Chains A and B, each alone.
Chain A
């Protein structure tokens, strides 16, 4: 048993936190880096503030888009502190605690709670094809280690076929964990999504199903409350307009927005988030390079992305600079 596991759960601080409802296109900032690849914490402050000022209904960090597997535990803790301090309770903050080692995840969990996070996001154990029972027990250990609301990240594509949160697993977790509050769903699949939403929302009506990216149009009518964002650092106005259209059931406008977001994501998805950071340069928000093994966007790629943003009428319709 590790030191982390032996220690008591973090001091209860739920009374200081305000209740919140998750909805909208929530922003998950990239991690700005200096040219020497060290974390640019001042840049992270600017990035977070940019999202809050531009309408983000919640902030979540460090998702994979923030290169979380390439950050040290120390960097993740310091980044979380910077993030929570910068947001200053203007919107809810979620901290991602998934890591290769469950003990590191528990350590990050305790740290995030002490630092003042509003909720936690965790994932099925990485890189080892866990069984449904192993996922269940791992999530239970993390969920019982904190008083914070816990979200789980369902990403069959990243974790391998069969490594996912099935509706049966979600039902077991809802029964077991009173603080199991929602799911970041990146299955992006009609059957998988409907099965989870059908089961989870009947058992726990306030359960928040948040799409992993803004592929939200297909799932919103079936109970998704919002999404995290791939293109919010480029086009926050588009994200906000998209969700407003969904809430108004204005499907024509929502489709127009979804199609544009889909085109943006086609630009970014290869070696994500390399091209996203490359495109941010054209918007006056240089977040620096990408850590290896991912590539930093080349000068030619940045120029190509800039032309694409012009063609998509993003450059002139979205905020420039920080």
Chain B
């Protein structure tokens, strides 16, 4: 199998109408925005897309829609995580038929199976298709069995199409252990940052990054990614700190933070789907004002 290197992966949000339905016209705009602003690949629907708030049918529709909208301009990675192994397996097969370039899944949420069962879950999803398979760490790590280096190693040994790990744990020890041990078994094993903290990932040997904040600051994400790719890690510090500040601001808004920041940049995508709540006033205006005041965002695109 040829090695699929996703590069800088943009992670689109899911826009919702006032009636909570997916706004596909706006979703097309979101995708075009990312394609126009530096995405090497897209990943849908990742956690910033509120994947856990989407219905079973919507999870398939959104993968299908994104692939059709992209029309092969960049690879599309389909995120198929689910608590049920069989459901995730079927979604992976659907994504392959729809034209996805790769599959990503984290360990099951909700259940706390033994590590050997987590391995089985991931192996079944990975082996459901012939596509490159990426394991990802869940954003909420304690909502299931922790993904350990040992689990990753066991999956690597059993799956020919394993491509890498998308790390959102941000744990230095796990990152270093996984990449160093993983590459002993599979020299082309990749470690990708699942967050906008790209410098630590690049330092330990990672390549590639999934950027949730590319919805807000695609230029900053690209510049940071390029410096990391060139291993200019000390030089990347200032940009990483800007990105960290933006991350900190957005995080203060909870689930609504990312969409509030996008609104401040002139890209209205509606509110989060329930049970996620809108920030409400005056917090929404306060956060939007703080984002808009960030000097490093002055060069970023406004509107679509």
Contact = CB atoms under 8 A, between A and B. Distances in A.
Given A198-B244, A249-B233, A219 B172 contact: yes
Interface in A7-24: none
Contacts of A197: 241
Contacts of B200: 190, 193-194, 218-219, 221-222
Contacts of B199: 190, 218, 221-222
Nearest to B149: A266
Interface string B240-280: 11001101100000000000000000000000000000000
A217 B176 contact: yes
Given A195-B248, A251-B233, A262-B180, A220 B203 contact: yes
B267 to A, nearest CB: 24
A254 B233 CA distance: 13
B298 to A, nearest CB: 19
Interface string A258-297: 1100110110000000000000000000000000000000
Pick the most buried of B176, B197, B237: most chain A CB atoms within 10 A of its CB.
B176
A189 interface: yes
B170 A190 contact: yes
Name, among B170, B201, B203, B240, the residue most crowded by chain A CB atoms within 10 Å (CB to CB): B203
A188 interface: yes
A258 B247 contact: no
5 contacts: A188-B172, A189-B171, A191-B195, A220-B203, A221-B199
B18 interface: no
A129 interface: no
A259 B179 CA distance: 9
Contact of B203 (A189, A217, A262, A266): A217
Given A191-B244, A220-B203, A255-B205, A215 B176 contact: yes
B205 A262 contact: no
A222 B240 contact: yes
7 nearest CB pairs, A to B: A218-B200, A221-B233, A259-B180, A190-B197, A190-B170, A188-B172, A190-B200
Contacts of B247: 191
A191 B248 CA distance: 9
Interface string B198-226: 01110111000000000000000000000
A192 B197 CA distance: 11
Contacts of A130: none
B175 interface: yes
Nearest to B236: A221
A223 interface: yes
Interface of A: 167, 188-195, 197-198, 215, 217-223, 249, 251, 254-255, 258-259, 262-263, 265-266
B180 A263 contact: yes
Contacts of B233: 221, 249, 251
B204 A218 contact: yes
A218 B175 contact: yes
B117 to A, nearest CB: 23
A188 B248 CA distance: 18
A188 B173 CA distance: 7
Interface in B71-93: none
Given A188-B172, A249-B234, A251-B203, 20 more contacts: A189-B171, A190-B170, A190-B200, A190-B201, A191-B247, A194-B240, A197-B241, A217-B172, A218-B199, A218-B200, A221-B199, A221-B233, A222-B237, A251-B231, A255-B203, A255-B204, A259-B180, A262-B173, A262-B176, A262-B177
Given A191-B247, A198-B244, A258 B234 contact: no
B205 to A, nearest CB: 5
B271 to A, nearest CB: 25
A248 to B, nearest CB: 11
Given A191-B195, A218-B204, A223 B231 contact: no
A266 B176 CA distance: 11
A198 B245 contact: yes
A258 B201 contact: no
B208 to A, nearest CB: 15
Nearest to A265: B173
B186 to A, nearest CB: 15
Contacts of B231: 251
Most chain A CB neighbours (cut-off 10 Å) among B195, B200, B231, B245: B200
B180 A194 contact: no
Interface string B172-195: 110111001000000000000001
Contact of A191 (B176, B177, B197, B203): B197
A89 B90 CA distance: 67
A191 B168 CA distance: 10
Contacts of B245: 198
B263 to A, nearest CB: 24
Nearest to B167: A190
Interface string B124-145: 0000000000000000000000
